[in-house]
Amino acid sequence: MKYTLGLVIAAAVLAGCATAPPRDSALEDARAQVQTLSMEPLAQQAAADDLRNARRYLQEGDAALQQHAPPAVVDHDAYLASRSAEAGEARVQEAQAKAQMSAAQTERQDILLHSRAREAEIARSQADAARERAELAQQQAAAAQQQADSARLQADAAREQLAQTQQQLQDLQAKKTNRGMVLTLGDVLFDTGKASLKPGASSILDRVAGFLNDNPMVNVRIEGYTDSTGSADFNQVLSQNRAQSAAAALETHGIAANRITAVGRGPDMPVATNSTAAGRQQNRRVEIVFSDASGQFAQAQPQ
Amino acid sequence: MTELTRAQTLIEAADKDGNAQRYAAADLQRAHDEYADATRADGAGHYNEARDFAQSAEADANLATARGAAGEAKRAANELMQSNASLRAESNRAVENSVGAPPPPAPTPAPN
């Protein structure tokens, strides 16, 4: 039994020695290269010829080795297999580069498309902004036009108001002077030496008050004058009191006190001679000076 | 001899191509040398030796051609990638000048 087992082991060892293939390092290196190439996903597609040639040279090398051919013969096959594998590797790289080229071309198209889309978007935005600016300008122009129209209407109204005011003053028989429009009231308003208004004064002062109510921007300065009869002090006080009486009468008609100034000028600035009765009557007077429509009086002094 | 003829054809094609010379000059030179050796051996009547040299020349010419094509393909791909990078940078500058525009597509990886 022991003898039989020994024979089996010896036969197995001999069989193993008989089937072990001879090896050549150059051929094994080439085989590894071919193996690496065959693992490349693109090898079958891009390097089929090189791979086929490399495998054929490997087979020839194996056969030569098997037949105990000289090492130079085996090495030659290994060299050819190796170079074929390297050529196949280069063709795989070429295919990879071409694939990347193709991807880059697609990417370029994407970039260009994206860029054009963005340019269009920017152009749209700019057009929108320009349109908004144009609309704004149009609105501003319309507003300006409206303001101009409004100003023109106001100017027209002011002109009309001025004309109306002047007409009203003319109706009051006010006269145009370098002090502005002036209404002269004779001494019929007062008794001689008195400052209280006579009943007949009411009518004319009503009309003046009516005018002032119609023209709320117009102010008045009431100037009292006397003739030269009597003392200067008396005349000054009398003229002042008469002016104030007229002012008070206007206030009772609802004219605000701040629109009225009362001044006594005594016998100053006579409008006629004081040597005759008729002249003195003319000098005893009250003058109502009207401001312009903005409340301003002319700068000229009374003559 | 068939091997000599094939080697010669491949070497001439590689020479003509230009890319082999540019990207695989050493391989191409080696093919030339091997072809010269083959011719010499053939002339001397050493036909087996001539056949082996011719086969080597053919393999090296084939390799030079493949490396030339790969080199040129890589160059072209790289050039396009760089051009794309410039285009993308230009596009990004335009994005910075505009508001709310989405960024351009991501770049593809460069070839090895």
Amino acid A159: pLDDT:
86
Question: Can you give the pLDDT at residue A16?
Answer: 44
Spell out which residues of chain B touch residue A50, defining contact as CB-CB under 8 Å. 62, 66
Q: Among residues A136, A169, A202, which one ends one of the domains?
A: A169
Tell me which of A115, A134, A169 is where a domain ends: A169
With 90 as the cut, is the pLDDT of residue A7 above it?
no
Whether A4 contacts A10, CB under 8 Å: no
Residue range of the domain that includes A155: 22-169
Give the Cα separation of A258 and A262 in Å (integer): 11
pLDDT digit string, tens, across residues B35-52: 999 999 999 999 999 999
Which residue did the predictor score with more confidence, A10 or A231?
A: A231
Q: Does A195 lie in the same domain as A127?
A: no
How much is the pLDDT for B1?
74
pLDDT at B105: 60
Task: Search chain A and give the residue with CA nearest B74.
Answer: A97
Domain match, A144 and A259 both: no
A300: in domain: no
Domain co-membership, A96 together with A194? no
Query: Do residues A148 and A216 share a domain?
Result: no
Interface membership of B87 toward A (CB under 8 Å)? yes
Is the model's pLDDT at A168 over the cut of 60?
yes
- Among A94-98, A185-189, A284-288, B61-65, the range scoring the smallest mean pLDDT is A185-189
Q: Would A13 be classed as within a structural domain?
A: no
Predicted local distance difference test score (pLDDT) of residue A21: 65
Q: Chain A 125-184, CB below 8 Å of chain B: which residues?
A: 125
| pTM metric for this prediction | 0.57
Which residue of chain B has the CA closest to A91? B66
The whole-number pLDDT of residue B100 equals 53
How do residues A106-157 score in pLDDT, each as one tens digit?
Answer: 999 999 998 888 888 888 988 999 999 999 999 999 999 999 999 999 999 8
Residue A131's pLDDT is 95
Residue of A105, A119, A125 lying closest to B80 (CB–CB): A105
A163 within a domain of the structure (yes/no): yes
pLDDT at residue A249 tops 70: yes
Same domain for A229 and A137, yes or no, is no
Helix (H, G, I), strand (E, B) or coil at A84: helix
pLDDT at position B107: 62
- Is there a contact between B105 and A107 if contact means CB atoms under 8 Å apart? yes
Q: Say how far apart CA A169 and CA A248 lie, in whole Å.
A: 21
Per-residue pLDDT reduced to its tens digit, A172-218: 788 888 888 899 887 667 777 788 888 777 788 888 998 899 889 99
d(C-alpha B60, C-alpha B11), whole Å = 9
Q: Given an 8 Å threshold on Cβ–Cβ distance, is B77 in contact with A93?
A: no
Same domain, A129 and A265: no
Q: A177 and A162: one domain?
A: no
Q: What is the pLDDT of residues B87-101, one digit of tens each?
A: 999 888 877 776 554
Looking up residue A198, the CATH number of its domain turns out to be 3.30.1330.60
Q: Is B49 exposed, middle or buried (0-12, 13-18, 19+ CB in 10 A)?
A: middle
Q: Six-digit token pair at A187?
A: 């001494």
- Closest-CA distance, A162 to chain B, in angstroms, reads 59
Q: Does A17 reside within a domain?
A: no
Q: How far apart are CA A28 and CA B55, in angstroms?
A: 20
**Which tokens is A232 given?**
């200067």
A15 in a structural domain: no
- Of A148, A169, A190, which residue is a domain's last? A169
pLDDT score for B108: 60
Per the structure, the count of domains in chain A is 2
pLDDT, residue A140, reads: 96
